[in-house]
A and B are shown apart, each in its own frame.
Chain A
Amino acid sequence: MNALALSVLPRPMRLLQRYDDGEDARHFTFQLEDIRAEDAGMMPGQFFMLVLPGCGEAPFTYVSRPDDQGRFSALIRRMGKLTEALFELQPGEVLGYRGPFGQGWPRFYGKQRILAVAGGCGLAPLAGFIEDVARTRSGTHLQVIYGARHVGARVLSRERARWSGALPLIETLDQAGPGHRQGTPLAHFDTVFGQAPPDAVLCCGPEVLMEAAARECLGRGLRADQIWLSVERRMHCGVGLCGHCYVGDSYACRDGPTYRYDRYRELLRRSGCARELDRGELRHC
């Protein structure tokens, strides 16, 4: 068969461990049976397809990169048929894996100021990036704002505990009790923009949050090409063939899920969503 053939055959992986990590969310550790160079070369922000025989497959981001034993983790929220079944699985059971797919976050070098804005489970696609910065001390100055609906809805508790010692992490809640910050991530932009504006902003969460955060950044003087989003679309093949994940004339599984905001806007404009964009009533295309 053609050496360029796309990966449609899942590779087996085992469920190693899982623990509850947020509302209806669990932190899963998987182990790939055969490890390939591309697994270890995964870029934060890329995703994999998790195949649950009998339940189809679905995209999830890596929370950690596959190690030399093929172990990696993902944070998964219970949503529908596949995740329900996944939550019932016992450690040791075999699932399928395809990946890594898509484009990760851009690479930053040197002493840049980066702001990461995450909402809800949108912290998961940013986790690998935050972890890399927290661990390598590359000189990159990273600030993170993480918003969730309430205390119990927050995900990645162990990771957050680790990061909070290594970098500025602002956590905020829609419904905050005593001792917690209140409001959406946008309510705290004054704090992070106060010292010096970031050189780049990475954003992942509900599309309304990302759109609102991007507009807020533009309003504060950032250019659209300094902002990156990670968008969510329905995905089946992960390799640009099945057609489900389109954003204008781009396939989010192949060209995304991370898009630079100016390019994302251009995609929407080209595909006829310009007016909605300008009116601020974003409908997705």
Chain B
Amino acid sequence: MNAYELNSVEALRAHLAADRRLYEPRPDGQGGLHWQTVAADDAQAFEPGLEPPPFSAKAFFFPEREAMFRFERGRFVAVEPEPEAFTLFGLRACDLTAIAYQDRFFARDGHYQARREAALLVGMDCAASCTGGFCAALGSGPAVGDGLADLVLIPGASWRLLVNTAAGRAAVSGLDLKPAPRDWTRAREQTRQQAAAEQGDAAPLLAGIAALNAGRVPPQTWEALGPRCLGCSGCTSVCPTCSCFAPLDLPTDGGLRRERVWDSCLYEGFQKEASGHNGSPSPGDRVRRYWFHKFGDGFKREFGRYGCVGCGRCDRVCPGGIGARVVLKRLGGA
């Protein structure tokens, strides 16, 4: 890991965009914030703002719908993605942690891995906390964790750049970068502590996780939360680690195409079997499962961390007001 002074983030961005397609979260002028392509000659200033984009980077690697194979004249033909190299610029710590989580979950999924290998990840420490995020409580921010990105932007009086990987080093070759002063880590740590402190006390959230895993959550709690879930799939769509999917067969000229499309475990029919039996028949069962999947110790054992990265998106989007922060506090009895 090497740290450099970065006189102009825009110059770095232009340099990277000259090589491969580059995306950055940008306001759409109508109140939205989306991942948008930035050309090498784009003069717009890099202004990341406080809030993360409503959609994480998940769809770059695990698209909302994706062809898996075709069936033609009695043969099954694989549809392999052929992604062009691209750069994601300005990824926050939470979303980078989510990418690392999905890297593990999809370790043996050829489609995911092909897209993932095509990506250069440029992370960014958060200079201040977003509203509603609780990444500090879950160890996924506000500073970008080691090894999660090829390059990391560090905000401060002036920008600094960390070069973490060989791919990152190759991507910045040709740029005239001066080493950062030796005490760069101190300033970074100060920013991290400040941003983390803005997120408030982690204890009530951790108490919720502990209660869930100790079996101390009474069934009535889930039954009370259940009716507040409208089964809209908002949380599962915006969650950077949700990855359930369903198969879809689409007719084509002389055959068909099998796609996989995002699904949601909060839909009533998610576990319904042909026999009519449903493994999770009530909304309370499904809500319980959703949070158990994010905060269950069994999943943590398998994937090295909890499935939730504390990005706060589900709290922002849930029409019933039962996002992660609200639910954890409730489970913990706060």
Interface residue? A36 (CB, 8 A) = no
Which A residue's beta carbon lies closest to that of B217? A272
Q: Are B109 and A234 in contact (CB under 8 A)?
A: no
Residues of B within 8 A of A (CB): 68-69, 71, 74-76, 78, 80, 105-111, 113-114, 212-213, 215, 217-219, 222, 243-247, 249, 251, 255-256, 260, 263, 265, 270-275, 277-282, 285, 288-289, 292-293, 296-299, 302
Report which of B74, B219, B263, B281 forms a contact with A243, defined as CB distance below 8 A: B263
Q: How far is the CB of A275 from chain B (nearest CB, A)?
A: 6
B269: min CB distance to chain A, Å: 9
A184 to B249, CA, bound (A): 40
Give the residue of A56, A80, A207, A272 whose beta carbon is less than 8 angstroms from that of B288. A272
Contacts A9-B78, A232-B273 given; does A271 touch B245 at CB 8 Å: no
Q: Is the Cβ of A244 less than 8 Å from the Cβ of B277?
A: no
Known: A9-B69, A10-B76, A272-B217. A56 touches B280 (CB 8 A): no
B281 touches A249 (CB 8 A): no
For chain A, residues 243 to 281, give those with C-beta under 8 angstroms from any C-beta of chain B.
Answer: 243-250, 269-272, 274-276
Specify which of A56, A94, A243 is in contact with B244 (CB 8 Å cutoff).
A243
Number of A-B contacts (CB under 8 A): 141
Residues from chain B with a CB closer than 8 A to the CB of A96 are: 71, 76
Given contacts A9-B69, A11-B76, A236-B247, is CB(A2)–CB(B215) below 8 Å?
Answer: no
Name which residue of chain A comes closest to B114, CB basis. A1
User: Which B residues lie within 8 Å of A275 (CB)?
Assistant: 218-219
Given A57-B247, A58-B274, A234-B271 in contact, is the A285-B296 Cβ separation under 8 Å? Answer: no
Which residues on the A side are within 8 Å of B273 (C-beta)? 232-234
**Given contacts A6-B109, A53-B249, A284-B279, is CB(A241)–CB(B271) below 8 Å?**
no
Whether A9 contacts B281 in the complex (CB less than 8 A), given A56-B249, A232-B273, A234-B272, comes out as no
Of residues 199 through 242 on chain A, the ones whose CB sits less than 8 Å from some CB of chain B are 207, 232-234, 236-237, 239, 241-242
Docked pose: A232 CA to B247 CA in angstroms: 19
Q: Mark A1-45, 1 if CB is under 8 A from B, else 0.
A: 110111011111000000000000000000000000000000000
A140 CB within 8 Å of chain B: no
Q: Tell me the count of chain A residues lying within 8 A, CB to CB, of chain B.
A: 50
Task: Return chain B residues, CB-CB under 8 Å to A107.
Answer: none
Decide if A249 touches B245 in the complex (CB within 8 Å).
no
Q: Across the interface, do B109 and A249 meet the contact criterion of CB distance under 8 Å?
A: no
Distance in Å from the Cβ of A126 to the closest Cβ of chain B?
A: 18
A51 to B110: give the CA distance in the assembly, Å.
20
Q: A232-B277, A239-B108, A272-B292 are in contact. List 4 more A-B contacts (CB 8 A).
A: A12-B74, A249-B296, A274-B215, A285-B288
- Are the CB atoms of A55 and B249 closer together than 8 Å? yes
* A6-B109, A54-B256, A243-B265 known; A233 vs B247 contact (CB < 8 Å): no
Partner of A241, one of B69, B109, B296: B109
Q: Tell me how far the C-beta of A282 lies from the nearest C-beta in chain B, rounded to whole angstroms.
A: 11
**Residue in chain A with minimal CB distance to B242:** A243
> Is residue A196 within 8 Å, beta carbon to beta carbon, of the partner chain?
no
A242–B289 contact, CB under 8 A? no
Check A79 against B244 for contact (C-beta < 8 Å).
Answer: no
Which residue, of A57, A82, A207, A285, has the highest number of chain B Cβ atoms within 10 A?
Answer: A285
Q: How far is the CA of A242 from the CA of B288 in the complex (A)?
A: 18
Chain B residues with CB under 8 A of A247: 279
Inter-chain contact A249/B298, CB cutoff 8 Å:
yes
Interface presence of A143 (CB below 8 A): no
Please tell me which one of the listed residues B74, B109, B217, B292 contacts residue A5 in the complex, with CB atoms under 8 A apart.
B109
Is A137 in contact with chain B by the CB < 8 A criterion? Answer: no
Q: Write the nearest CB–CB distance from B114 to chain A, whole angstroms.
A: 8
Q: How far is the CA of A232 from the CA of B271 in the complex (A)?
A: 10
Which B residue's beta carbon lies closest to that of A9?
B78
> Within 8 Å CB of B302, what residues of A?
249
Q: Is the Cβ of A12 less than 8 Å from the Cβ of B222?
A: no
18 interchain pairs, CB-CB under 8 A = A1-B80, A4-B108, A5-B108, A8-B109, A9-B69, A9-B78, A12-B74, A53-B255, A207-B277, A243-B243, A246-B271, A248-B292, A248-B296, A248-B298, A272-B288, A275-B218, A285-B279, A285-B288
